[in-house]
Amino acid sequence: MAKIVTMGEIMLRLSTPGNSRFVQADSFDVNYGGGEANVAVSLSNFGHEAYFVSKVPSNEIGQSAVNSLRKFGVYTDFISRGGERLGIYYLETGASLRPSKVIYDRAHSSISTASPDDFDFEKIFDGADWFHWSGITPAISDKAAECLKQACMAAKKAGVTVSCDLNYRKKLWTPEKAQRIMRPLMQYVDVCIGNEEDAELCLGFKPSSDVASGKTEAEGYKTIFSQMQQEFGFRYVISTLRESFSASDNGWKAMIYNGNEFYLSRRYEITPIVDRVGGGDSFSAGIIHGLVNGMSQADALEFAVAASALKHTIPGDVNMVSIQEVESLVAGNINGRVQR
């Protein structure tokens, strides 16, 4: 298995029990998660040597976040300690016609005030096969963006494959700033992952399909996939295609392009959705697992789509499934019969 490094922010997640609203809640369920941390957990579950790089406060809450990764076998050797606080996000899980809601409380978090001096990137990428990051990390702060840039430069110097999940977050920055920061970072990226909104807001590419009305015809993506590959030289361009009929009912598939051929995955109907937070992260982990193990782009995509479909059935940020469970779904075992 491979040594895979991810870098970003891990946060304390406080979610209302069940589908209750914020104004109804007398208590919150506690989880820890964040884009790249979620990817690391999935990859560790798939048997890889997964490292998560970040900065957390030197207190019990920071330690709890680190412990949440360690229990899944994620290596935390390169997590720096210090700063003011751990970021928090509050989640109200929607149902049917009511969408889920997220409220951030992450200003002045430890990773947002980190500097490149907090990390020994040469040591971090020694012997690494893959580096994964998301657009959330440079959106956190200018300092976090500079740390990420230094990490990307060190990864490429070490000959490491770099993947990016564009992951636009409108509560963190504007499209103008996102493109100003993200487009130069694409020179370091080999595998670009994102949906139609991410491609438009982070990089300025707009699909011709009418995704706002829930339509996700693959043809609408082929032009922008080709344009992105030509402009940035990506080895792979990948997009999830979510059909959102309601908060509880989604269609789920994906497309991949290697510069020569497009491949569209099988489509899954996911209903009822238990928790869609982390669905994209579980998809990224599945793609990384497939490609780093030498799967064809078709097989890697089918593995990733199945892994992320299963994540939608699991509460919390992280995907707690095995390779065998994903492969069983890929093979068509969708009846949900009790396994005895």
Per-residue confidence (pLDDT) for residue 209, from 0 to 100: 56
Per-residue confidence (pLDDT) for residue 211, from 0 to 100: 47
- Residue 243's CB is within 10 A of a number of other CB atoms, namely 16
Per-residue confidence (pLDDT) for residue 298, from 0 to 100: 98
Per-residue confidence (pLDDT) for residue 239, from 0 to 100: 94
Contact 192, 186 (CB under 8 A): yes
Per-residue confidence (pLDDT) for residue 197, from 0 to 100: 86
Please, what is the end-to-end C-alpha distance for the chain in angstroms?
30
Vertex 53, ends 12 and 28: CA angle to 5°? 10
Q: Cα–Cα distance between 185 and 145 in angstroms, integer?
A: 10
Contacts of 130 (CB under 8 A, 6+ apart): 2, 3, 4, 5, 160, 161, 162, 163, 288, 292
Domains and CATH numbers, the chain: 3-330 (3.40.1190.20)
- Per-residue pLDDT tens listing for the chain (340 residues): 899 999 999 999 999 999 999 999 999 999 999 999 999 999 999 999 999 999 999 999 999 999 999 999 999 999 999 999 999 999 999 999 999 999 999 999 999 999 999 999 999 999 999 999 999 999 999 999 999 999 999 999 999 999 999 999 998 999 999 999 999 999 999 999 998 889 899 999 876 655 445 555 677 788 889 999 999 999 999 999 999 999 999 999 999 999 999 999 999 999 999 988 999 999 999 999 999 999 999 999 999 999 999 999 999 999 999 999 999 999 988 776 666 6
